[in-house]
Amino acid sequence: MKRIFVLFLAIFLLSGCAAKPAEPETTAVSTTVETTVPETTETVPEETVPPVIYADQLVDGVYEIAVDSSSSMFKVVHCELTVSEGSMTAAMTMSGDGYGMVYMGTGEAALAADETSYIPFVLTEAGAKVFTVPVEALNMELDCAAWSINKEKWYDRTLVFESAQLPAEAFVQE
């Protein structure tokens, strides 16, 4: 009886019916993909990557924008982009209170940096944490390290400050 059970177990495992381990989580990267439609042989873009936008392409002002974060643990619920005299900053309101400071760069770079380059939060009247960070460009992946208060270590995050919500009048007219 034991031999029959072992034989069935071996067949079951070899046939691939056993549960397979979950695939590791991957991060999606936006790219432009073109597909040829067979009926018309016409090229149709499936997804386009927005162009990188620098401060000199925008009119000075304050604009609400969205921020894409590589981590659900670093969730920005509101962001105001300030464009002034050729530079940009973003005031990011966080969903939680687990981070004590951020650094624009990697966690490894934050460890080597002078503490004066760390960016502390400011509390709003409602008790939300707001980090105001420099923004090199919109629609571009930027490294941001976040200091976990509970774990007392830096976590690497990638942020993309998105231009999609900017009104047409925010762009410099040439």
Are residues 101 and 114 in contact, defined by beta-carbon separation less than 8 angstroms? Answer: no
A 10 A CB-CB count for 76 gives 20
| Collapsed DSSP state (helix, strand, coil) of residue 13 | helix
A 10 A CB-CB count for 127 gives 7
H helices of the chain, in order, are: 2-14, 107-112
Q: What is the pLDDT of residue 162?
A: 98
Are residues 100 and 147 in contact, defined by beta-carbon separation less than 8 angstroms? Answer: yes
d(CA 45, CA 37): 10
Whether this model's pTM surpasses 0.85: no
Q: What is the pLDDT of residue 39?
A: 54
Are residues 66 and 79 in contact, defined by beta-carbon separation less than 8 angstroms? Answer: yes
CA dihedral 63, 105, 140, 156 (to 10 degrees): -100
Are residues 132 and 90 in contact, defined by beta-carbon separation less than 8 angstroms? Answer: yes
H helices of 31-167, in order, are: 107-112
| pLDDT tens-place string over residues 76-116 | 999 999 999 999 999 999 999 999 999 999 999 999 999 99
| pLDDT tens-place string over residues 9-22 | 444 444 444 444 44
- Given a cut of 50, whether residue 32 has pLDDT beyond it is no
Mean pLDDT, range 128-150, rounded to an integer: 98
d(CA 132, CA 92): 6
Average pLDDT score, the chain: 83
Strand order, beta sheet including 99-103:
67-69, 153-161, 141-148, 99-103, 119-120
- Given a cut of 90, whether residue 2 has pLDDT beyond it is no
Strand partners, 147: 101, 154
